[in-house]
Structure 1
Amino acid sequence: MSSPQTKQKGTKKPKPHRCQQCKKDFSSRSDLTKHQRIHTGEKPFSCAQCGETFIQSGHLRAHQRIHTGEKPFSCDQCGETFIQSGHLRAHQRIHTGEKPYSCEDCGKTFTHSSTLQKHRLIHTGEKSFSCNECGQSFARSGSLKSHQGTHTGKKPYGCEDCGKTFAHTTTLQAHRLIHTGEKPFSCDQCGQSFARSGPLKNHQRIHTGEKSFSCDECGQSFALSGSLKVHQRIHTGEKPYSCQDCGKSFNGSSSYSNHRNIHTKDKIYSCQHCGKVFSSYSSHRAHERIHTGIKPHQCQHCDKRFYSSSDLSVHERVHTGHKPYCCGKCMKSFSKSQSLKKHKCV
């Protein structure tokens, strides 16, 4: 005969402590106290390094690893390390393909609960977090917090290797991969590897041919929203990036960065095959494909392949007839910027 003291299998732990704000129940007084800070806004645990405050001491300890660089949780599949065990569990779903979080409105599934929450705002359109400085509103508190850094100029997160500071922890984490050289995310099609999953997803559109961002002026489509924004400046004439040395202006940040190296004579990217050096990473990467033979950029019209996306864009104008470069004097248009320059010299 079993003792009355024996805990039966499957018996749920009682939750006698109720929050009067939202009626949620908790098994211990301490859990209720932690929870109530969500309603009161109290954050009693403060980081000595940057002053950021937290509701729980555990959250503070996890945050402090950003400053120390400690990443005790490692992925068995690719070796990537993480500050928190929860981040590791979420990362492992990239390898397993598991997407346990589903949208009730459209059925789309997600790897992370946070991604589902962001997605739901597409359906609701809610933007409840507003900036006191400029009035811009955001769907998430994290986005508001990131935005507010543009007003304060605060960059509390520093790289231990080079001393460079950042406004956001995610930007610091991405930057650190420059020093480690780690690229755990690899393309199944061509083998190119990436430091983060986001750039891999963008890269994969080269192979799928997906171009969901279209220009209202000329109809040209792009794989990335950023590429569309830069392209649209051809039509508007906007060149927001200006060189402090010579005054020359550019419509894209990458063009501006490449130009800046003319003044600094900085060539920091070296080809491991022939030793040739380059001032920009994109030029270096495109050059190395000459040695490897990899041509990841394929034309959707004739299946011709190219080393770089810029070469593909120029080639596709043969099929589309698109001529984005226009002479201001005679209004004659050209498919290449070099052709317009030659024309102006006549």
Structure 2
Amino acid sequence: MKADRAYLDWNATTPLRPEARAAIAAALETAGNPSSIHAEGRAARGLLEQARAAVAAAVGAEVRNVVFTSGGTEANMLALTPGLRVGSQAIEHLVVSAIEHASVLAGGRFPHARVETVQVTGEGVVDLDHLRSLMAGARPALVSVMLANNETGALQPIHDIAEIVHAADGLLHVDAIQALGKIPLDINDLGADLISVSGHKLGGPTGVGALVLASHLQGLEPLLRGGGQELGRRAGTENIAGIAGFGAAVAAAIPAMATDMPRVEKLRNRLEANLRQTQGSVIIAESVPRLPNTTLVAVPGLRAETAVIGFDLAGIAVSSGSACSSGKVRPSHVLEAMGFGPELAQSAIRLSLGWSSSESDIDRCLKAWRKLAGNLTKRDHETELERF
């Protein structure tokens, strides 16, 4: 990042790790197709499998069950497949939480008539009673719930969700894209049947991700058909450079997580302690477990788009919500699902940190925030005077 700017939008994308950059450069010098059996092809295959092993180790999966994709959206699309089987019975219905990423809310390949939505609490956590009621029917369902929300950072009770889903003979897909590299992640401990991950959320390149399958999963239908790559589960010659960068980023991020994230959480807590001093400010989902790097703050009357521009002019990158939808002039669907009204929802600013975030980044952010909040207070005061 540029020395004269502070980057506080790590949930949108992260800087490329040096290890990933080096792996990408090396892979670009490898000419072989990983499906070829000659020496050059075997060299490319070696890079592919090295990355696959790194991703598998990071999520506690078997190496052969990592399916590389073009990113998190494709991984989610591949996961949401009618016909996945529980024993001999094929699943034909999908249940998604109301706070999922747009790529999950779209329903994958399930017909809209076979998709149901489970509600969340005011803190952005899945309503387990509502989930039980949806799973009480005779038809087993695939349930898709993200581990960590990309806007609020709220962590979902995946273990409890898995118990409910499996007791009803369903399957569970977990979008773990924001979680990988920030909190420990194990597909078996979670009780998940499929999990999605992405490279650019932890220091890898954009345009590469993976769907990871539990060993028992059956009936996954390819989204892309053609060649037999990825054991027939995803056709197309693999993006060796991107995958190598993804693997290198994972290999660097997971060991560093134990020291990086506690430091990041301290920075986040300092940031929030100061944000709370602004009259009317709300730290959203602060009473539930969250990612250690994420703050979603709202102040009624402060328009999010105005604040984002103000931060940018001050040399600070922040977001007004999900990077995939922040260009749209409408309140966050996550905050709507949590029951927030339009005024508060339209004022929400997401501040997200990462491994190279510093005290000076927080200082700079708070200086800009005080100016924005001061302008809001001044405007409110002037409005009040106009009433007399």
Q: When the two structures are superposed, what TM-score results if normalisation uses the length of structure 1?
A: 0.25
Structure number with larger C-alpha Rg = 1
The higher relative CO (CA closer than 8 Å, separation ≥ 6) is in: 2
Q: When the two structures are superposed, what TM-score results if normalisation uses the length of structure 2?
A: 0.23
